[in-house]
Structures are given as structure tokens and as C-alpha cells.
Chain A
Amino acid sequence: MPRPSIILTASATLIALALAGCGGDRPATGAAVAAPASSVEAQTVAARVLPSLVRIRVVGVNPRQGKLDKYESAGSGAIIDATGHVVTNHHVAGKVRRVWCDLSDGRQVEADLVGTDPLADIAVLRLRLGGKPVPGIATWGDSDSLRVGDPVYACGSPVALSSSVTAGIVSNTRMVMPDFFARWADFFAMDGEQVGDLVRWIGHDAVIFGGNSGGPLVDRAGKIVGVNEIGLGSMGGAIPTVIARPVAEELIRSGTVARSWIGLDVQPRLPARADHRGALVGGVTPGSPAAVAGLRAGDLVTAIDGEAIDVRSPEELPGFNRRILIAPIGSDLKLAIYRDGKELAVVARTQARGAALGHDDEILSWGVTVRPLTRLSAVAKERASANGIEIATVQPGGPADSAHPRLEAGDIITAVAGKPVLALKDLPTSGGPVLLSVERKRLRFTAALNPSDAEPPPPPAEAGGAWLGLALLPHDATLAEALGKGTPVGLQVTLVVPGSPAETAGLKVGDLLTHFENEPIEITGTGDVDRFTAQVRRYKAGLSVNLGLFRTGTTSTVAVTLAAQPPTPRRYRDRVLEFSCREPSAEERAERGLSAGQPGLIIEGIQNAGWADVAGLSEEDLLLAIDATPTPTVAAAQTALTAARTARAATVVLHVHRKGHSRYVTILPEWPRTP
């Protein structure tokens, strides 16, 4: 399960190693190093910032094997206005199904995602305050005023612990991803975006850890100068407010960030072109504004709107990119070009850039996750048009994997029954076979898919076989020797199920089984009990078998008439709450000391990050009641859970028994949308 904060921490490992020895651009200027932070200053800063700090707990989703898999994660954020907007990272809260925030005054409130921007790795939440005031508001500072050596404070919830403040200094004001990380570009990408294309991080040594992601980096006045994003040990990286603040404000305003695009691929100029300044054009997207303007590979862009450009190193690329990205959509960019020893002037009219990748969605009846094409993802696939829906992941053996021919990740659905697909709603999710027009790279073909959203069938019955009704443990040579008195090896009876063939035959706890059907029972040290049980199971019910017995120093042979194994315990799986429960077997009832008729269902099969898991339900819990209704049987549990689902209850309260104690577990479900 990906944990964003950990992912970024891992990324930071490489970054930190790679940047060892690299410095920022400002120390060389001889800027005065600020006085070290004092504990009084730290206390003042903490008093200013901590009230606005929130710990964020999310249930997010990631596409995997044809479904949006949920995961649970945590991060940090800061309240930035009185209406309850919280700024954090996209990788913390950008792909959430549910999000809760712990406020500094002890409240835990649910929040909604206002907007998210993977390119800047910034997201904004809004707290559901219910009319109550926020406990504090953080204020924005000026990241451009930072100098290497300035004291800074990192605030957040490392490892999801409660709010913390750590102190450090600015180590670097323009930390970038070096060129040689390009080979791991896909690993570093977030929803197809490379944060380093836009962001130069504030490097600092205030200790941060997974869970600090999204928390503010503040200056000595307690103002936000960055949003922590990456970190390892003593080295952290924060997105400067010069980037984070306008993005957050635009997200609050419009829910999205509008950016411009002209279709240029730019890189630092080559050593061989050291004779002339500029940004080297590596390529131009066919049909793009840059292509229309006449730009071509090998050109040097020397100025944009009259401002001189020089890109000598990767550190200078984000600045160039930003200049284009923040230009108003539809505006004319005046580009000065150096080509073949001549200066040229061209104009490129910007277009809306859009996201690198479309929003992930799932079609359960197809067994796929899909995403609409965007301008950029279409370009990456060398397609002229962004029309169509891309299959991102496929459930093995699911309807898409069984289509004729099979669909694969990366396929693009361009039409259904000849009708062009422009949006997700154009894909039918039910009915008979669907005829699809599909593109796979340069291939074009038609496929037939049969949507199926049938619930998984109940598990099959297990063939019974014979049954003794005993719980056993190995009684090995060491134990036999310790007991002395000629005690043999065998299997010791630890429990006799009431009413079982073993009880009828007079077997008792403490007996030692030495022979089965006159053959000695071997004790090898591993799997002895399972082997014996399987051996018994292979016999037919109704047969009489001989058991060799050692009891209080005496050996004897007991004939036991085997019974049929009790039926497979009934199970119920709740697909919405994402857990299963089953009735305990006869042995389990005896082991747990449950008398006949005493309620108790065994909890099992809790889906990772499912609503039951998030609520804290635990495997092996004994379910006693649901919403105060006792659950002696699976049928009773199913009825109670169906009632909660029908009523779309805000909470489902389970009363469970766990390790000698009982407790209430409150599930906050997200019921499926009604058609």
C-alpha cells in the first residue's frame, strides 16, 4: 500500500544523496547569516503556528488491477483562512475518498477536497466546521526573502504523531532534481507530473519525517515560507510559497489551476552551444502553438516577452517553465529565437495545458480503471486527438481481460458501437456485449466486452469427511522424557468438543493419542496435528476407528465411531463495509468458551483501508451485536447490516469482544450512490 509520505521520503533518500555537496546560489553572495534560533523564539513561533496546524488522515485511492484500491495515510496541513481552508500536499490529500483532520483544539472534523495540483504538489481542503470557528489561522510569508542560513521551523505530524515543531536553517534556496534522476522520472512522477519541472525546493535541515508532508515550513516570524514535501533525516525540501500560495489561492477560487502550454520541449543548452545564451529547444509538438509559430528543434529561446533567458543548468529550467505556465491562456508570447547565427522573433499564442493524466476512475463491471486522455497524455501517446478513454489497469480474469480480444492497460477506447467516446459516461456499464473500437499504439481493432457486475459468489462448501471433535497438540520426545514414567510420544488432547464422537467415546482432556488404526502416530515437530486431522478427515463418517490411548500411565485402545464433519461455517461478506464474519466452528466455540446459543461471530477478511479497517475492527474480534441488535447467527448480522445499508446510516456501531474486553467500534461508511 503506497503511503505518500513514505514514498516521498524514499524519493528524498536519493535526492539527499545526490545533492550532497551541492550548494544553493545565494551563499556565494555573502549574505549575512541570521542569528541562530533561540528557545524563546521557537516558543513564540510555536505559539503562533500550532493553533493552525492540522493532522490529516485520509483514505485515498490508487488504481490497481482494475479497481481503485483504497489505502490509509496521514499527513499535515495548515489552516489558512477563517472559512477552514487547509493547505497541504497533493500527495497527501489529492486523491482521497474520505479525509479527516485533527485540529489543535482537539476536534476531529471531516473535510472536503477543494482542489489539487499534482504539478506543484499542493492541495486544498475545506474543513466541515459546522459553523464553529477555526482554532487558528496561519499567515503566508515570503519565500523569496529567505537566505541560506536563515532559521526555519518545520511544523507537522511526523509519523502521524501529534503536532510537532522542529528547528533548522535554510540549506539551499533552489534545490532541484538533478538531470541524472531523469532515468527514474516515472518513479518520481505524481499523476504523470514532475514536480521538479516547476518547483525549486527550499532545502533545510529542520528534522522532518513521513507524516510531515504538507505541513508548513515557517520563518522566525511564524509565517509560512514553504510547504514541506520531501525529506530524509536532516535534509528536507519545502515548496516555496512563491509557488504554493498562488496555487492554493487559485484552487480555492476555481478548484483547479489554469496553466498555459505552447508545446515546447526545452533543456539546458549544450556545452557545444556555450557561445550563445538561451534555452535549447529539444523538440516541438506537431500542431502546437510553438510549431505554428515556426519554432523547431535546435533553436535557442533567448527571451520571452523581452526578458532575457539563459538556461545553463537544470536549476534554471523550472524558472523557464514557470514563465510559460503562468502566462494567461490565449495570450501571445513574444519569443526571441537564435537560429543559425541569426536572431528571430516569433509569437506563440498559448493554449490551456491541462493535466498530464486524466482523473482515475473505475468501471467495476468491466474490471478496469480508466482515465480520460488529456492533451499531454495524448501527446505522450503520439496521438493527434485527446478524444478517448485510456484503460489504466485491468483486473486479471475480469470482463475486460476476457473480452474478445482481451483489452490491455494502455488501450484507448475511441468508440462504442461506432459512437465516439468523449467522456466516461459514454461507456456503458451494463447490458449485453459492448462493441468497442480500440487503439493499441498503431493498431486499430474492434473488441466485444460483456460487462458483469455480479457480486462474488459465496465461497464453495468444503467437502466434509470424518470428524473426531478434538483439539490436539504434539506431545514430543522432549516432553515425554521430561514427564518420565514411560510416557510415550503422541498427540495430547487439549479440548473435547461437547457432543462430539470423541466425547461419546470417553476421551478426555489430558489423554495422549499414541496410535491411529493400530499405527503409531509420528511426531516430527511440524504439522503433526494437521497431518493427523487430515488423516481422520479422509475416512468416511460412520466408520469405527481404533485410537491408541495413554492415560495416567496406562495404555489402552478405544474405538471411536467417526461422525461427519459439521457443515462449513456460514459466512457473510459486506462489500460496502468491507469485512466478513462467520459463525465459529464447534472447536472454536469450545475454545472460546461460548455456550450454545451465546452470540458471537468471528470477524475475518477485513479489507485493507476498508471502512471497517479504518474504524479499527480487528480480525478475530468476536462480533456480539450490530447497532444494539445481537448477532448470534450470520443471518442476524446480514439482516442488521442490510438494514443499516437501506437506511444509509451515518454510523454502524459494532459491539465486539477482543482479548478479554469488549468495546464498541464505530464505522463511518460511504454508501454506494443510488442510481
Chain B
Amino acid sequence: MSRPYSAALLSTFVILLGSLGGASAAEPIVGPAAAPSAKEIFTRFGPALVQLSGTVKTTMKFSGNAMPGRESRLDAAGVVIDADGTVITSANVVDPGRMMQKAMKAGGSMSGMDMKMDVASEHSNLRLRAPDGTQVPAVLVIIDGDRDLAVLRPDAKDAAAQKMAGKWPALAAVATDKAEVLDQILVLGRLGAQFDRQFALTPVQVTAQISKPRPCWIVNGGSPGGVALTRDGRYLGLITIQLGEVDFSSMMSASQGMAVVPAAEILELVKSANAPAAK
């Protein structure tokens, strides 16, 4: 269920599609005049969807006994939210061990035995890949495990990152749009490497609206790290995974839900990432 554009005039999300050729950032685009086509969405929002790569080493301890660490390749998508290249994505995408840890904490028992599991992750070689293929080293600045959010930034010490500063094609959030239960929204993401990381747009429906303690919309689909948009093409927030309890006695079934974390919440996290303690 989409709402007329006029009902969302307060929405002031803008898309800053900065030129990568060295020119200054493009003029902000303040929302579309009508429900955009998929092609228009890809053109408008696509450049802000960047690829993250790197190595994540996960070490696990079961009831205090450490298992050998395992390194895996990180290949994920994130959304650039300012021209300096600040990227927001799902914490579970950046740190897969976190989901396991959370599941175990939510309801970790196996065959009636209490099992304490600790998962630690170490990231290295993190890189952001700009739409023109430029790769710059990145640092993971802050993680909010409860809301499944992670903030990354280009490594300011790197020459290529310095060159890109102020020129990232960004989706700049300055306020929050609204959605209601049974609204249909769109999730913009990227497919895997086997599909050459093409853009994909998925319609999903808002199934619940959570207001306390922190606002979010529960939706019935989408992939974590994806961009949630209203039907008429305005930015709503980020798709995250909200993990429920896991019952290992019933074949590891997990109750997990996809949730859209509103942009205002994201901005708040980015703001805390800017605080001296998080740097």
C-alpha cells in the first residue's frame, strides 16, 4: 500500500550522487515526482550501494574451550550515507559469528545441556569498492549488535581514501520517512557474485510497527544490509536481522525477523561513531 507523494513531504532524504571524476557532488535530489521505475531507482540509489570485502577471523569458545580460529572471506554490501564514504550495513553481514553468538545467548541449549559459547571476530583487509571500481581500505568504526547495525569508514590514512573524500555517491539521511502496517515497501540490494552483483529490487510488506524501546518496522522479506524504500522511492532505512530464540532441540529452528531500522536511528549511531571514544 503506497501513500501519495504529498503525504511524505516531510521526508527530506536526499540522494547525493557525487561525481567520481573529480567534480563536486551533484545537486541533491529531493524525492521523485512519481512512483519511480526500477531503472530509475537503480540509477538514483544504486551508486550508494557499495561492496565490502575483507577477511574475518572467527574464534569460538565452547564453555571456555577455544576452537581453532577460522578465517573467511567477507563479501557484503553497504550503503554510503555521506560524501566522506561513511557506510552503514548489517552487523550480522559484516560479522557472521555475531548471529551465532546471539542465537546461543537467546536460547542456547543443546540436548538439555547448558552450553556457553563465546564468539570473537577480528577483521582485516577491509575494503570498500566504489562504483568506478576504486578500492579503498576501510575501518569498522562501531557495531550495534542489538539493532544489527555496523558503521564503516574509509581509512583516512590511505592515499586513495583521501582522494575519494567528499566525492562518495551518498544517500544522505536527514530525517525519517514513515511506514505503516501492511504498507508495501521496496528493498534494494545487490545479488551475489554469481550474478555479477547486479541490483535487485524486492517488494516486501510491513507486518508490524515497533515503537518501544526503539522504533523499527518488521517486514516479511529482504536481505540484511539492503536499502528500504517507500513505493514512491524515498529512503526509509536499512534492512536488518532481528534474531529471536533458537531451540536446538527442534532442529535449530530460529525465529528471526527482518526489520527496517529507521534512518534517524542510523544517524544517531553514526553520530555516536563520531564521538571521540568510538574513533
Contacts and interface: CB of A to CB of B under 8 A. Distances in A.
Contact of A526 (B59, B109, B272, B273): B109
B123 interface: yes
Interface string A513-548: 000000000001111001100110111100000000
Nearest to B278: A461
Contact of A530 (B105, B124, B149, B213): B105
Contacts of A454: 124, 137
A463 B142 contact: yes
A463 B213 contact: no
Interface string A462-498: 1111000000000000000000000000000000000
A4 B86 CA distance: 48
Contacts of B25: none
Interface string A378-414: 0000000000000000011111011000000000000
Contacts of B59: 605
Contacts of A395: 55, 71
Interface in B210-259: 213-214, 245
Contacts of B145: 462-463
A535 B212 CA distance: 10
A397 B129 CA distance: 14
A567 interface: yes
Interface in B41-90: 53-56, 59, 61, 64, 66, 68-69, 71-74
Interface string B100-114: 000001111100001
Range for the number of chain A residues in contact with chain B: 35 or more
A606 B140 CA distance: 23
A619 B143 CA distance: 25
Nearest to A564: B272
A464 B72 CA distance: 28
Nearest to B124: A456
A285 to B, nearest CB: 37
B123 A456 contact: yes
B72 A526 contact: no
Given A454-B137, A463-B269, A396 B71 contact: yes
A460 interface: yes
Contact of A460 (B56, B61, B140): B140
B107 A460 contact: no
A526 B142 contact: no
Interface string A601-638: 00001101000000000011000000000000000000
A608 B214 contact: no
B269 to A, nearest CB: 6
21 contacts: A367-B125, A399-B125, A457-B126, A459-B121, A460-B140, A460-B141, A460-B150, A460-B151, A461-B141, A461-B142, A461-B143, A462-B143, A463-B142, A463-B144, A463-B269, A530-B106, A535-B213, A538-B147, A538-B214, A605-B59, A606-B66
Q: Which 4 A-B pairs have the closest CB atoms?
A: A397-B55, A463-B144, A397-B73, A396-B73
Given A367-B55, A465-B144, 19 more contacts: A395-B71, A396-B71, A397-B55, A397-B71, A397-B72, A397-B73, A397-B74, A401-B73, A402-B125, A454-B137, A457-B124, A460-B141, A461-B277, A462-B142, A463-B269, A538-B213, A568-B277, A608-B66, A619-B66
